[in-house]
Amino acid sequence: MANPLLTGVSGLTSHQKMLEVIGNNLANLNSTAYKAQRVLFSDLLYSTVTAATSGTNGTLGGINPSQVGSGSSVSIIDSNLNQGNLSPTGQTLDFAIDGDGFFVVSGGGAPRFTRAGSFRVDSSGLLVDPSTGYLVQRYGDAGEPDGLNPAFQVPGDQNIHIPFGAGIPGRATSEMDFKGNLSSQSLGPAERVISSNAPWLAGGSPATAATLLSNIDGAIGTYAPGDSILITGTDVDGTPVNTSLSVDATTTLGDLVAAINAAFPQADAALDSNGNVVLTAGAPGASFLSLNMRDANLNVGGLRFDQHPMVVIEQGRTAATIVTGFDVYDVRGQPHNIRAVLEKQEDGSWTLTASMDEAAGIVIDGRVENIRFNDDGSFREAGGVGIADVNLSFQFTGLTEQQTIRLSFGTSGSYDGLTQLASSSAVSSEQDGFSAGTLVDVQLNSDGTLLGIATNGRSIVLGQLALASFRNPSGLNRVGNNYYEVSLASGDAKIGTALSGDRGSVRSNHLETSNVDIALEFTQLIIAQRGFSANARTITVTDEVLKELTQLIR
C-alpha cells in the first residue's frame, strides 16, 4: 500500500509547484515586461502487471499490457513570451520594444538581457538601469568622433554616455541652399522713353542728322538768321527746361538733336533710323522726362511741330526686387544677419546682392549675377555658363580669416531650388551652420538611435541602443530583476540594432506591461486547488485502508 501514498505525494508536489508558478505570476502582475509562466505535468514510471502479447496463430488474440503508474511530476515550466501592452509613461528615458528583442545591460560580468526599459542617467552621465546600476549597452559607432559632430561615445566602450549640460560647439556656415519662386511676371528695370509720334521725313524718306531743317517735309520756307526753336520740358528729376536753338538755312536736324542733348543733361537724345527724335532717360526708374518744341521769332521759315508731338513710348520703372534675410554663423557659432536683394535685370536674368551691418563685418564678395531659368521655369545656371561654384565671402569682425559660403540655387533643369513660374515670388534659404548650445534633452528614434537635443535647436546623434535576439528566447535563464541570461538552450545572443534582422522597433515614453492574464491565472488557480485536493484525498483514503489492514490481526 506504499505506492498509492507515494503517488498521491507526487501529485501534491506537482500541484504545489503549479500553485507556486501561478502565485509568482500573480505577484508579478504589475512587474515591467514580466513574462507569465505555466506548468506542464507528465506521468512517472510505470510498473507492468501483465505484459502485452500478440496472440498465437489465430487461436488466441493479443493481450494489451496492464500497467500501474507511479504518479506525476513537473514536465516543464515554460514562458509566454508574447508582448505585453505598451503603456505611456511620459518619461523620456522609458523605452519599450515593439516586437522581438531584448535590451542589453552590463554589470561587469556576462551581459544581461531585459525588456524592462526604465532607464535613467546617473551622476557620471551614463545610461543605467536605476534598480541595479547595470549599464545600458550601445551598438555600432554612432556618436563616436567623426570630424563633423561632437563626440559623445568612447570608441571601444559600449556604455552609453549622455552628458546633460555639455556644451555643443557651433559650426560655421559653409553652404546655403535657396528655394522658392521668382515670379516670371516680374519686370526688369526700364528707362522712360519719349519719341516723336511721327517720323521726320525729307522727300518722303526718313530724315537724317545731315538733313537741313528747311528741307524737312512740311517746312514753311527757309530758316533765316534770327529764327529760333524754343525747347521746353522737364528733365528726369523734374528740373524745368527752357532754352532755344538759333537756326538759319544751314541748321540740320542733327543740330536740333544736339541742342536737345545739351538741354537735358540727365537724358540722351538721338535720331533713329526711321527719322524719329527719341529722348531716353539716363537711368531706369520713375521719371519726369518731357519735351516740347515750337518755332519762335520766325522771319521766313518754320516747321509744323504740331505734326510731330513727343509721346511716351516706355514708362520708366525700377526693377522688380525680392528682399530676404537669413542668418549665417561664423567659426565661433555666432550668428550674423545677412540681407539679400534679388533684382530682375533687363535681359531677364536676376542678380543677388548681399549686405550686412557694418559693425558685424564687411561683405568681401556679395554679388551673384546671371541667375537664369529655362523657358519651363526650371533653374538653369548662376554666375554664368560653366561656372561650378557661386560664393559669397565675408570678413566678420574679430576674425582674421575670411569666410566663404557656397550658394546653391538648385539643380540645372529641375525644380528643387529656385524656379521662375507665373506665381507670386517667395524665397527661403537653408544653411548648414548653427550656434553653440547645451545638451538638455534626448529623443529616441524607432531604430534605437538616441538624439541629443541642444538649446540651439540642433539634434545630434548620441549613440544607438543595442538589442539582442535569440534563436530560442524561451531557453533563456531568468535571474531576477527582470533580467535574463544566456543558456545552452537559448543559443548565443545576436546583437544588433532595432529594425534590423528579427528585432523590433523601440519606442520612447513607454514601458511594456506584464503579459499575465489574471482571468486565466484565477482559472488555473482553481484547477491547481482541485488537483491538490484530489491528491490529498488519495493519501487520506490510502491511510484509511492501511488502518483497516492493521485491524485485521486483532
CA torsion angle for 200, 201, 202, 206 (degrees, to 10)?
100
Closest of 334, 326, 354, 325 to residue 398, by C-alpha:
334
The kind and range of the H/E element at 427 are strand 426-431
Proportion of the chain above pLDDT 70, given as a percent: 98
Domain boundaries, the chain: 2-81+516-551, 86-166+443-512, 175-187+319-435, 193-310
Q: What is the pLDDT, as a whole number, of residue 386?
A: 64
Q: How confident is the model at residue 114 (pLDDT cuts 50, 70, 90)?
A: very high
Range 8-12 average pLDDT? 83
Residue 2 confidence (pLDDT): 56
313 sits in which H/E element: strand 310-314
- For the segment 115-124, the average pLDDT, to the nearest whole number, is 96
Predicted local confidence at residue 308, as pLDDT: 77
Percent of the chain's residues with pLDDT above 90: 66
- Whose cell is 490481526? That residue is 553
Cβ-contact 310, 279 below 8 angstroms: yes
Q: What is the pLDDT of residue 80?
A: 95
> Mean pLDDT across the stretch 11-18?
90
Q: What is the CATH number of domain 193-310?
A: 2.60.40
Give per-residue pLDDT as tens, 51-70. 888 877 777 888 888 888 88
* CA dihedral (474, 479, 480, 484) positive or negative: negative
Helix H or strand E segment including 13: helix 2-27
* Structure confidence at residue 552 (pLDDT): 79
What value, to the nearest 5°, has the Cα angle with vertex 236 and ends 230 and 239? 60
Phi and psi of 191, rounded to 5°? -90, 150
What does the alpha-carbon distance between residue 306 and residue 53 come to, in Å, rounded to a whole number? 143
What is the phi/psi pair of residue 4, to 5°? -60, -35
Residue 228: φ, ψ to 5°: -150, 160
pLDDT of residue 223: 83
Cell numbers at 234, concatenated:
522737364
Q: What pLDDT does residue 485 have?
A: 97
Q: What is the pLDDT of residue 225?
A: 84
* Mean pLDDT to the nearest integer, 509-518: 97
Q: What is the rounded average pLDDT of the residues 228-245?
A: 93
The grid cell for 415 is 525644380
pLDDT of 1 reads: 54
Quote the CA–CA distance of 155 and 151 in Å, as a whole number.
10
Torsion angle, alpha carbons of 4, 9, 11, 15, to 10: 160
Region of 218 on the Ramachandran plot (φ > 0 left; ψ -120 to 50 alpha; else beta)? left
Compare 81 and 301 and report the one with higher pLDDT: 81
Average pLDDT over residues 370-394: 88
Q: Please name the amino acid found at residue 357.
A: D
pLDDT in tens, 159-211: 999 999 998 888 899 999 999 999 998 888 888 889 988 888 888 899 999 99
Inter-axis angle of helices 518-551 and 2-27, nearest 10: 160
Mean pLDDT of 289-316: 81
Q: How confident is the model at residue 388 (pLDDT cuts 50, 70, 90)?
A: low
Per CATH, domain 175-187+319-435 is 3.40.50.970 = no
pLDDT reading at 385 higher than 80: no
Contact 324, 340 (CB under 8 A): yes
Per-residue pLDDT at 6 exceeds 60: yes
**Partners of 453 in the beta sheet?**
441, 459
Q: Which of 546 and 269 is assigned the larger pLDDT?
A: 269
Q: Is a pLDDT exceeding 70 seen at residue 133? A: yes
Nearest-angstrom CA–CA distance, 521 and 515: 11
Give the distance, in angstroms, between the CA of residue 145 and the centroid of all CA atoms in the same chain: 22
Q: What is the mean pLDDT of the chain?
A: 91
Closest CA to 318 of 284, 352, 267: 284
pLDDT of residue 387: 67
Radius of gyration of the chain (CA): 49
Query: Which residue's entry shows cell 554616455?
Result: 161
Strand blocks (E) in 12-170: 37-43, 46-50, 66-69, 72-79, 86-88, 94-98, 102-106, 112-114, 117-118, 120-121, 127-128, 135-136, 167-168
The model's confidence at residue 150, banded by pLDDT at 50, 70 and 90, is confident
Query: The pTM is what?
Result: 0.66
